Structure formats: structure tokens, C-alpha cells
Copies of this chain bind each other. A is one copy, B any other.
Amino acid sequence: MSDDEVNVLFMPSGLRGKVPVGTTVLQAAQRLGVDLESICGGQGKCRKCQILPQEGVFPKHGITSRLDHLSEFTETERHHQSKNRLKDGRRLGCNARLLGDLVVDVPEESQQHKQHIAKAVTAYDIQVLPALRLYTVTLPEPDMHAPISDKRRLQNELAREYELPIMDCELSQLRLLQKALDKSERRITAAVYQHQQIIGIWPGEKKVVYGLAVDLGSTTIAAQLCNLDTGEVVATADTMNPQIRFGEDLMSRVSYVMMNEGGDKVLTQVVREAFNQLATRAAKSAGIQLDEILDVTLVANPIMHHLFLGIDPTPLGTAPFTLTTDQTTVIRAADLDLYLHAEARVCILPCIAGHIGADTAGVILAERPDLAEEYVLLVDVGTNAEIVLGNRNRLLAASSPTGPAFEGAQITSGQRAAPGAMERIRVDPETLEPRFRVIGCEVWSDDPEFAQKSAKVGVSGICGSGIIEVIAEMFLAGIIDQDGVIGPVEGKDSDRIVLEGRTYAYILHEGDKKIRITQNDVRAIQLGKAALHAGTRLLIDRMGISKVDRIGFAGAFGSHIDVKYAMVLGLIPDCNLEKVGSVGNAAGTGARIALLNLPSRLEIGEILPKVEKIETAIEPKFQEYFIEAMALPHKVDPYEELSKVVKLPPPKAKLENGSGDGRKRKSRRRRSRV
């Protein structure tokens, strides 16, 4: 062993190896294939790569591990410690450097969250009027001359002191009542749900309880733990949806249910277990007990919604795509096998239609198009795009089958948004040379320091927002023509454009892995954007307007794409670019609004039945619009303003190569859909 190298052993994985002195723990983990999370790419910001160095002799491994075999605490670590974000004994893997042999424990919460989860908590002013409120009262002594029960004295006191209506109390809490009264001289705190029901009893004064707003996605489950008194988000946590092992996309999970007796119960169980783990992590991270969580709001797409509730989602897999329920469901957490307070309530926002879920209800709650004067278009892009259009007078909603391309799936070099994924891509229109930036590395690929700085994350693929950019950039550079065909650009030699069989591909990067865009990739994006465009156009038609006033992209995809490129590709209709933007994780924000603001929670149940649902599958015009929208930006362009925004490429020689033929395109589309 060289003097310049140290031994490092990671637990609980048992992975070990030698690394140069001065390597950060995160780098060592990445090199040895240890599952240590990092989102910020080692910048000391995300605090995900927390590790616990061990002290002691490990004879089996020949390692004497000492805490001072790590570099001293950095300024960054001290800062996080002072904010209680870095617990005793822990270090940031990206800050702590190995100076000697060390055994490193990777805590559970630093493991297995390889995906970069973009469902960040957006800042939002919400009036805190929670469904659950605490009231502290001192009950009068019982009087044998006028005997009334503990419960009735509690009711009377709540009415007298807080003008609350007389309400029932859950039996499980009644059982605690007399001991609570004994313990604290008849001073107790009651938690009242929706002004209707006492669901919690504590002796003395209880000042704070907590609520959990959950966005249950097919890929990711994200939770925001909120103080129900201040509304403050005290912790966030997210995890992969463990159902992924039964099918990456929703339809394959429905297939799993159809093919396996009891399969729905298995899917229900694993997602609830994930919920429990998530809640436990969030509670731990906030330093509270699970039984201090008394309220939950949850949004999900229709299939996740049904599975979470234990309802067979099979009918959602085939026409007529009938929901079992399209109403708000309020149920005891315990009845869903969720382990929070014994009487914690779960409020699951309603689905809108078979393809439009409670997540869209969350988006509506976050953006409130139903209150807008102007016409608002909200788009949540995933495997399907949920589209909402309207204003205070009328709301329309549809779901359009965009396919998984926008999420980077079924794209040759596509991947989820994780470290090493290209998220920003430019193509020089003169040289046709690409440059890019990957998640986890702050410099562009043409920066001299890129090789060094990107070494720890590598260059592994292209994520959704990167794909939009590269296709648009290739189009703007003339590498892709209006029909979506890749080919050489007249007068510009480039060894990036290579023939693969009968079609061309564009090489972005050649490293360990060759990252490239193929003709099929372009077709997948064309199909996706055509579906999104056709769905949007149907709603605009139905609304009888020619132009929308504002466009909001919801979700992870929306947070990352550059709207200019979305417009280049024709993903979105004509709109003042200043009025186009990300609305963040609006679904999750909607869940949080529902959690913190009871009137909104009740209102959404009123709004949704009035939303007109457009089933794209049975709209005759959908196919027509779809075909028209395959072109880049489109053959029939109803959006005149586009040309003002986008510098269209010059007419190209490749127009003549025959691939632009409509019939051929149509047949390709059919094949792709099978």
C-alpha cells in the first residue's frame, strides 16, 4: 500500500477499497460504488451525503479507524451543525476528506435515493387555517348535585370558551380523557378536526401538532411535514415508489394487477409501507413523534390514488376508464394501515377523471385558475400530460398520452434526472459541435475544468429537460428538419452526424458511454409533443378562444425545461413568453395548501365536479391535430407569434430526402404506439 493511499470501509454495504489521501468520502463512495446520496453534486448544499465515521479497531479488515483520520470540520459543516441540520458525530461526505484509514457508516437516510428528486418545496403564502386545531381548556370539577360526564363538560367548556359547536369525541380519545384530567388538574388540550370532531386529547397544554402533505407519484413519493400552527414546513422527505419493481410505468402496474391474483393488494401494501417509512423519516428529521402527526393530505394520479386506497385499479386500464370515486376521501390513517396518531385523518384529494388525477386537483388548488380573469393553461408533463385550461367562468381538463420520452425514458441515451445526466445542451449552429452541463457539475463541457470537475459524477445520459433542449438546438442548427428527420447540414461538415443503418444519429459525447440522439428519439419526442399539442389545441377549441394568457408547467419536468425550447418544439401554444413558466411542484403545493387551509380543501371538492372533462381518445379531432402537430414546430401553425420568438433555421436541403412524407410518418407513429 502506497503512503499516499488510505483504506476505507463503508458500512453497512461492506464495500471497501483504497483511495488517495485527501479524497472526500463522497468521492470514495462514488468510486467504490457505495450508495451514498448527493443531489448538489458535492457542493455542501443538499446535506444528503451525511455519513457517520466510526472509531475502533476492525481486525478482520486490518483497519484502525479514528475520527481524526478525517479532515477537520469545514465552515460549511459548522454552518449546518449550527442550524441543527447535521447531527452530532455526522459529517458531510463531500466536505470530509480521508487522511487515514477509516470505517464509514452510511445512515439509512443517506442511502438509496439515487434519483434527483426535483419535487422541491416551493415558497408559497398560504393562510394557515388548518383542518385540525388545538384548544386548551380547564374543565370545572364534577358536581355530584348536577352529574354530567367528562365528555359533556369538555364539550360545554369548548363551547363556552371558544364558541365551538357541541361535537363528538372519538372513543379512543375518550378512553384517555379521565387520566388526562387527573394528570393535569383538569386542564387538557383537545384537537378538533374540521370544527366537527374531537380526535385528540392530551393532558395540559399541547401547543403544536403536525400534518403531512404527500405527493404520491408513480416514481417518487414526496412528503412535506408541516407545523399546523405556523404552517412552517419543518421537514421534507422523499423516496422512490417501491411499486417500480412491479412496473416502471402505471400501465405495467395495472397489467401486474390483472395478471396476478391479489396483485392489487401487494401494490397497495408496498406503497403504504413506503408512506410509513417516509413519515417516520420526516418525523425523525423534525425531531417529533409519529403520533404528533394528526392530519395528512395526499395527491396522486388515478391509479396510484386507487391503489393507495386499496381499490382495484383495473378499470382504469381500459375504456371507459371509470373511476370508482371522484370525490374527496377522508379516512382514518389507521384504516389505511398508516401509523401516525391513532385518530389521524387522511384527506385524499379527488380525482377528476380516469386519466386526470388528484395530482391535477392539487395543481388547480396551487394555481387556482378558477379564480383567474385571464385564460390559464396548466400542463403537468409525465407519461401522460394533464392539461387544465380556463378561468373563473369555465374550466376544461384533459389528459394526453405523451409517452415517457419527456421523462427521458425510452430515449436511447435517456435517463432520469440524476447526477451525471445532461440537463443543459447547446449546439453551435456553425460548427454543429455540442456543449452541455450535467447534473452535479457546475461547469459546461467546454470548460477546461470540466474533465476534472465532472469526474465524480461522470456523464451518463440525458434527462428530460436535456432532451427537449438538444432536439430544439438540433432543429435550430438544421440537424433536424421540420419533419423531424436527422441528417447532414448542407455546407457544414460534422463527424457528429453519423449514419446508423438507414437513419442518422447525432453524437453528443463519447466517453465510457456514447451519448447520442437517434432518429427514433426524435420520433418519440415528436409523438410526445404532438400529443401534448393536440390535447392543448382541443381544449383551446372547446373553450372557443384563440390564445391563452398564461402557461404554467407543473412538476419536475416543468421546473427544468427552458420554456423557449418548449416553444421552439411547439410543446406549448402561442403565449407571451413572459407569461410562460414553471409553477414548481404544483401538485405537492396543492397538497400542502389543502393541509394548511381548510377552506381550500373543501373548495376543491366544489370546483372539480364543474370541470369539463375532455376524453382525448374519443375526440375525432384529436387524431387530426395530432398528425398536424408532428412537424417542427408544426406544419399548420396557428401561433403566428412564434416566429417572433424563435429564429427559424434556414430552409434545408434535407427537406428533399423523402422522410418528410406524411404517410410514412403516420405509419411510424402507429408502430411506436403499439
Contacts and interface: CB of A to CB of B under 8 A. Distances in A.
Interface string A173-210: 01101110000000000000000000000000000000
A144 to B, nearest CB: 4
Interface in A291-332: 309-312, 315, 319-327, 329, 331
A152 interface: yes
A425 interface: no
Given A152-B327, A171-B309, A309-B171, A321 B177 contact: no
B615 A150 contact: no
Given A171-B310, A175-B312, A335-B171, A147 B320 contact: yes
A319 B615 contact: no
A320 B174 contact: no
B326 A174 contact: no
Interface string A369-388: 00000000000000000000
A148 interface: yes
B175 A144 contact: no
A331 B168 CA distance: 11
Contacts of A618: 144-145
A453 interface: no
A82 interface: no
A521 to B, nearest CB: 33
A151 B311 contact: no
A356 to B, nearest CB: 9
A354 interface: yes
A656 interface: no
A146 B169 CA distance: 40
Contacts of A142: 320, 322
A190 to B, nearest CB: 14
Contact of A320 (B143, B168, B175, B331): B143
A353 interface: yes
B151 A310 contact: no
Most central of A142, A171, A175, A315 by chain B CB within 10 Å = A171
A325 B167 CA distance: 12
A147 B613 contact: yes
Nearest to A323: B149
B310 A178 contact: no
Contacts of A175: 309-312, 324
A310 B174 CA distance: 9
Contacts of A351: 149
A326 B145 contact: no
Interface in A117-149: 142-149
B325 A151 contact: yes
Contacts of A311: 171, 174-175, 178
A428 to B, nearest CB: 49
A196 B665 CA distance: 56
A356 B496 CA distance: 92
Contact of A354 (B147, B151, B324): B147
A168 B605 CA distance: 13
Given A152-B327, A327-B152, A322 B147 contact: yes
A642 to B, nearest CB: 33
13 contacts: A143-B320, A145-B615, A147-B320, A147-B322, A147-B323, A168-B327, A169-B325, A171-B331, A171-B335, A175-B309, A178-B311, A178-B312, A178-B324
Interface of A: 142-152, 168-169, 171, 174-175, 177-179, 309-312, 315, 319-327, 329, 331, 335, 351, 353-354, 613, 615, 617-618
Given A147-B321, A168-B327, A171-B335, 18 more contacts: A142-B320, A142-B322, A143-B320, A144-B618, A146-B613, A147-B320, A147-B323, A147-B353, A149-B322, A149-B323, A150-B323, A152-B326, A171-B309, A174-B311, A174-B325, A178-B311, A178-B312, A178-B322
Q: 7 closest A-B pairs (Cβ-Cβ)?
A: A149-B326, A149-B323, A151-B325, A142-B322, A144-B320, A142-B320, A147-B353
